[in-house]
Amino acid sequence: MTDAPHAHFRTTRRGLLLGLGASFAVGPARLAFGEAPGDRRLVVILLRGALDGLYVVQPYGDPALEGLRGRLKLPEPGQEDGLLDLGGKFGLHPGLGRLHGMFAANEAAVLHAVAGPYRSRSHFEAQDMLESGGEQRLASGWLNRALEALPRGGQGPDQARAGLAVGTSVPLLMRGPVPVGAYSPPGLERPAPELMYRLAALQDSDSTLGRAFAEGMRSRGFASQTLGMVENDRERSAFANLAGAAGRLMAEPGGPRVAAMELGGWDTHVQQMNRIMGPLRALDDGLGALKEGLGAEWARTAVLVVTEFGRTARVNGNMGTDHGTGGVAFLVGGAVAGGRVIADWPGLGEDKLFENRDLQPTQDLRAIAKGLLRDHLRLPEAAVGAAFPGSNAVTVLRGLIRA
């Protein structure tokens, strides 16, 4: 077979999936003194479609929120179905209960008003930039380039690739010179509810397929084409199963140390309150499953959850939000110095908004990622720079990781 290295997803022997027994690429082995090399775990979860940071982490203490977000504002902490408090100014969406538990245990930090260096509101361009880590699109991802410098413990036939792409595709984030393993369960993946609604809308005008498609949606638990909220255990558990499996693989002594995952369905232009619930719960369950799968190794793990940009500060005409700029990121894991919201809050007043429409970003996502490479993976300065070329002016954010 001459298939691409990542094309073998159905192989049942897990060793093969992880790249065991394949030709072994030995990166420059740098041993940091004082610690077993390469023991730390880093997971990056890409939320594709632009998570609405202002909705999921609401700055309920900001007086301008009501005016901008009235219809998408959730009750304040303590009220029925209210936000989960994050220390007095910000509140977390109640669908993220597990994440809130981790926050309370000082294992999760929330980073607000963050964005990459790009200001394009195109999903595709922004995702490419977010993943490649450059100021223009590069052919490889920053996480793959970081792998080049990752110190490894033993080497030999029982050692997996250091990097692992979890899911059907290998995201740009993980592509590049260093071979990575891939894990994906057999069978089909299902589009997120938001994408299903879009597909259904395309069928509407077509007489042959419209009714059959609508019927198929109904039998899968999509209550209505415009309003429905999806309560579907299978959707919800798919990401969690994947995350749990990734956690177990990474917990093994010879297992991968760095993994990338992706979760779509965040492009909530319409009926955001309902349609965000599926992905939100999947994310929350997934973080829980990842922690469980990692077991004791959770203590040495950091999970970065990022999205390509935030969404408009104002609600649009369809009870949704459109493409914006500043948004939110999460940093989760036993190694994380959590229990806090890290934000240089710009405020939501009209004169404070970016281009009078979006949350003004005050923190460069690259500063966060560089902080993780430096303080968590303990990569040397040069390697951090190679992961994010052209980012010398972006100061590494310190203190994200417990000393």
Between the CA atoms of 16, 242, 106 and 115, what dihedral angle is there, to the nearest 10 degrees? Answer: 90
Question: With binding defined as CB under 8 A, does residue 202 bind another protein?
Answer: yes
Q: For residues 203 and 282, give the distance between their C-alpha atoms in angstroms, rounded to a whole number.
A: 27
Q: What is the DSSP string of 220-261?
A: TT---TTT-----HHHHHHHHHHHHHHHHHHHSTTS-SEEEE
Pick out residues in 75-104 that bind another protein (CB under 8 A).
none
In this complex, which beta carbon is closest to another protein, that of residue 192 or of residue 359?
A: 192
Question: With binding defined as CB under 8 A, does residue 194 bind another protein?
Answer: yes
Q: Tell me the closest approach of the beta carbon of residue 43 to another protein, in angstroms.
A: 19
Q: Tell me the closest approach of the beta carbon of residue 280 to another protein, in angstroms.
A: 15
Question: With binding defined as CB under 8 A, does residue 2 bind another protein?
Answer: yes
Between the CA atoms of 198, 234, 50 and 68, what dihedral angle is there, to the nearest 10 degrees? Answer: 80
Question: With binding defined as CB under 8 A, does residue 275 bind another protein?
Answer: no
Query: Residue 149 has what DSSP assignment?
Result: T
Q: Which stretch binds another protein (CB under 8 A): 7-15, 58-66, 71-79, 311-319?
A: 7-15
Q: Tell me the closest approach of the beta carbon of residue 73 to another protein, in angstroms.
A: 24
> 71: buried, middle or exposed (CB in 10 Å: 19+, 13-18, 0-12)?
exposed
Q: Which two tokens stand for residue 341?
A: 């919201």
Question: With binding defined as CB under 8 A, does residue 266 bind another protein?
Answer: yes
Q: Return the residue matching tokens 């740098």.
A: 30
Question: With binding defined as CB under 8 A, does residue 215 bind another protein?
Answer: yes
In this complex, which beta carbon is closest to another protein, that of residue 49 or of residue 288?
A: 49
β-pairing verdict for 258-263 and 57-58 = unpaired
Using an 8 Å Cβ cutoff, are 183 and 227 in contact? no
Sign of the C-alpha dihedral computed for residues 163, 165, 169 and 174 taken in this order: negative
Number of residues that bind another protein (CB under 8 A): 45
Question: With binding defined as CB under 8 A, does residue 223 bind another protein?
Answer: no
Applying CB under 8 A, which of residues 59, 176, 265, 327 lies at the interface with another protein?
Answer: 265
Question: With binding defined as CB under 8 A, does residue 16 bind another protein?
Answer: no
Residues that bind another protein (CB under 8 A): 1-4, 7, 9-10, 48-50, 123-124, 127, 167-170, 188-191, 194-196, 198-199, 201-203, 205-206, 208-209, 212-213, 215-217, 219-220, 264-267, 269
